[in-house]
Chains A and B, each alone.
Chain A
Amino acid sequence: MKPGLEKTLISLCWLSGFVLLGAVIILVGYLAYRGIPTLNRHLLFGDTPPLDAMLMKQQVFDGLFPAIVGTLALLAIAIIIAVPIGVAAGIYMAEYGRGPVKKLFSLLFDILAAIPSIVIGLCGLTVILILHNRFEGRFAPCLILSALSLAFLVMPYLIRTTQMALESVPPAIRLTAPALGSSKLQNILLVLLPSCLPEITGGIILATGRCAEDTAVIMLTGAVTSAGIPRSFLDQYEALPFYIYYISAQYSGPAELASGFGAALILLVICGLLFTLSFWLRRRLTTSLLYR
């Protein structure tokens, strides 16, 4: 190959690396520049005394506190629903599924992993509208609907991490307990699962991060701009990503815009921490399937 061409190619590679790195630095830098000055008590609680807000004696009207609580509630419910089913399905795929059934499930989970989140949101919305029409307005988009949709959205991450973690357990560990006379289930529950607990935890945290960042599902299934702290599963709620979207589309003044950047910075920190922790826990699994 001609040396000139080779040099050009190499410099283009370096250029593309720097373009991407530059984009991240600009993104995070700009967010920090606009967001950090807004971080104070007023951003979270507005004019309400923080202690009253946290004890739910008073509602917060001009702070991010309800949105943060909404996001946390959403994460907690979605994960509590998703984890048992996702991990169980992962165990089935790794230890029990054989032949064409396993292949079919595997393809279906691949499809599920690739379905755009807005489509899942749409289906959640449709289900609630059907219920709404059938039961004359007793159902409306709400917290539990969003949590169910999100749980479904992140299911593939849980299934795949569990499956891969189990499949990558070395034979020496896998065969010991059965050789000593344990049953298949005992082996799974008492040996295999504990031995890959870090990876499965990593998968759960990754799923949590995906729940925290998703905007498309919740905007169709119950997130609103002002609802206060949700009092029940059937309430509408506020959430950080939806608030950010709303602010970017129709902020009414510099103060609201500033709180939008504050919210973005908080969300970035939450997602960044979850993601880093998840990556650190799953570092033994060298698979690209988890990065869809």
Chain B
Amino acid sequence: MRASRSLIEWFFFLSAALCGLLTLALFLLMFWFGLPLLGEGQTLQLFQGRWNPSQGQYSIYPMLVGSLSIALLAMLFSLPLSLGTSFLITTLAPKRLAGLLLDTIRLMSGIPTVIYGLVAVFLLVPIMRESLAKGNGMCILTAAMVLAILIAPTMIIFFVNALRSIPIHFILAADALGASRVDRLIHILLPQAWPGILTGILMGLGRALGDTMISLMLAGNALAMPQSVTDSARTLTAHIGLVIADDFESLEFRSIFACGMVLYIFTTIGAALARFLNQRLPTGS
């Protein structure tokens, strides 16, 4: 009895340790394979300049710009949308409607990404093609619009949790002083809930940066440096997705590990920041 008991408890620990170690191993793996790109004074070249294999240039800078512009633009669309909706759910809408809205939004977060992509290819892309009058409708703007819808549920759920975890006596005090619902929102709820709201934004940004299918299907995947939001662009994630693994040793193949490393580093910073913010939350939400 004694022996089997400690065996099971060892299994608990080893499982946790395995998951933790694999997470670290992931980074080491990418570092190891991305190393040839980093050596020989190529580090700088990797992050500036252009993608031009015929001249031996394998810079992932255009993809970095593509990723960041799509993610930030999506955030620009999605943040007001998500804030507005979470205010609607927490204060403005009648209770039943608010519940219905929240349930719908939860369900939204369960819709497969590839389905958003499929519908957008046949609904949004033709509209964009008509209205932009250049390119084939697949561009940064198209991807960002769909991504905005995709990341909204993640953010709204965090926002709603943050807004709801505010102690009731703050709200009652404000009401007693004659504050309107919008006063209450701006002067009580927002300042109190900011760590939760920032966490939500971080999570949304993380999802936007980490998403592969939307940008792969809707951003056009051009390798040139994007000049405007109506240009086609390739993201770091799409660049990995488009790899053709025939030549293991080529610098072209190695460049995807640089993409992976950049994404991993963004992820780690995001997770650490979210953790720091979470510790400042009033309740453990």
Chain A interface residues (CB < 8 Å from chain B): 1, 6, 9-10, 12-17, 19-21, 23-24, 26-27, 30-31, 34, 84-86, 88-89, 91-93, 95-97, 104-123, 125-127, 129, 133, 152, 155, 159, 183, 185, 189, 209, 212-213, 215-216, 219-220, 241, 244-245, 247-249, 260-261, 264, 267-268, 271-272, 274-276, 279, 286-288, 291-292
Residues of chain B in range 6-24 having any CB-CB distance to chain A below 8 Å: 8-9, 11-20, 22-24
Q: Which residue of A lies closest to B106 (CB)?
A: A279
B192 CB, nearest partner CB in chain A, Å = 16
Q: Is B62 an interface residue (CB 8 A)?
A: no
B46 to chain A, nearest CB (A): 17
Judging by beta carbons under 8 Å apart, are A19 and B240 in contact?
no
A91-B12, A212-B112 given as contacts; is B23 within 8 A of A112 (CB)?
yes
Does the CB pair B119–A114 fall under 8 Å? no
Nearest opposing residue in chain A for B77, CB measure: A19
Taken together as a complex, chains A and B put the C-alpha atoms of A189 and B17 apart, in Å, by 21
Interface residues of chain B, those whose CB is within 8 Å of chain A, are 5, 8-9, 11-20, 22-24, 26, 29-30, 33, 80-85, 87-89, 92-93, 101, 104-119, 121-123, 149, 152-154, 157-158, 161, 180-183, 186, 196, 199-200, 203, 206-207, 209-213, 216-217, 237, 240-241, 243, 245, 248, 256-257, 260, 263-264, 267-268, 270-272, 274-275, 285
A121 neighbours in B (Cβ, 8 Å): 240
Contact B149 A133 (CB under 8 A): no
Bound: A91/B19 CA distance, A: 13
Contacts of A1 in B (CB 8 A): 180, 182-183, 186
User: Across the interface, which residues of A come within 8 angstroms of B23, CB to CB?
Assistant: 108-109, 111-112, 115
A117 in contact with B210 given A23-B149, A110-B271, A219-B241 (CB within 8 Å): yes
**Does the CB pair B8–A185 fall under 8 Å?**
yes
A96-B12 in contact given A245-B114, A268-B111 (Cβ < 8 Å): yes
